[in-house]
Amino acid sequence: MNILVCFKVVPDLDLMPGGDWNVDSRLRVETGYVKNIINPYDESALEIALQFADKADDDQCSPGLTALTIGDSKANLHLKTLRALSFDRAVRIDSKEDLRFRPETCAALISAYINKIGKNNVVIMGRQSGVGDNAQTPLICAEMMGWPCITQVSSIEPAAGACLRVTNLVDDGTCRQTIEPPCILAIGNAPNSYLRVPTLKDIKAHGQKPVEVIDAAVLMATGGQPALPGGCELLGIEAIDRRRSGIIIEGETAAEKTQALYYSYLKGWLAGI
């Protein structure tokens, strides 16, 4: 089995100081001063792939693992960490394009990578990534590859006959199914899938291994399927004002404040329930 995990590096938007959203004339948002993180669903995707490899190792059919991101050099540090975590390949498709709302371009690049270079037969992605919040890349990629796609996946385990045992949420319940690759799996909420941290030994053993960088234009020019035109263009951005009265209860002690909260507000509100 040859597994590709796609991840995106995003600014940690929860660290943006309240209301401080500067949108420029090209509809870009200044987020340069907050730290970058791996998109939360992609973090789960990477950890689930590692857990899968751990289990498959026990069955002596260890899969190949590649981590791939599209973007600029901001991702390099994360790629190095993934290398130390024993991903066999860590690849960055170098692109300086504004891909925030271009899931079709991301999907085309990922498909081109699979077809031309990776020859992967299982692709694991996050269901949605911050900034663009498109929630479309895995689905478009599945269409481009002509592969099935399972969404809202919460766990993946090895199964007999080079198959996968996949658990995923559907609208009215949970499915556990045995799947024959090739397939695309989009990770949803998956408890206990925070990405592990490499040990010193990991870093010594793998940390210095190179990260591969591929130019997006070259990849597309040499055999990529053209992106399905998305036909979705960003026209404007507005901030959402969520303020309510935000009255802060005063008092000396927690008990005093709680009493004030209860008698001035909560008692009445609770009576209305």
Ligand X SMILES: Cc1cc2nc3c(=O)[nH]c(=O)nc-3n(C[C@H](O)[C@H](O)[C@H](O)COP(=O)(O)OP(=O)(O)OC[C@H]3O[C@@H](n4cnc5c(N)ncnc54)[C@H](O)[C@@H]3O)c2cc1C
Nearer to ligand AMP, 121 or 151 (CB): 151
11 is a contact residue toward ligand X (CB under 6 A)? no
Q: Which two tokens stand for residue 72?
A: 């600029």
Nearest approach, Cβ of residue 194 and ligand AMP (Å): 16
Nearest approach, Cβ of residue 267 and ligand AMP (Å): 44
Helical ranges in 3-102 per DSSP H? 40-58, 76-84
Q: How far is CA 128 from CA 10, 39, 112, 190, 270, in A?
A: 12, 8, 21, 13, 37
Q: Are strands 64-71 and 2-6 parallel, antiparallel or unpaired?
A: parallel
128 is a contact residue toward ligand X (CB under 6 A)? yes
Q: Which of 111, 134, 151, 154 touches ligand AMP (CB under 6 A)? A: 134
Nearer to another protein, 40 or 214 (CB): 40
Q: Which of 14, 238, 241, 252 touches ligand X (CB under 6 A)? A: 14
Nearer to another protein, 90 or 190 (CB): 190
Residues in region 19-48 near ligand X by CB under 6 A: 40
211 is a contact residue toward ligand AMP (CB under 6 A)? no
Cα of first residue to Cα of last residue in the chain, in angstroms, is 55
237 vs 239: CA distance, rounded Å: 7
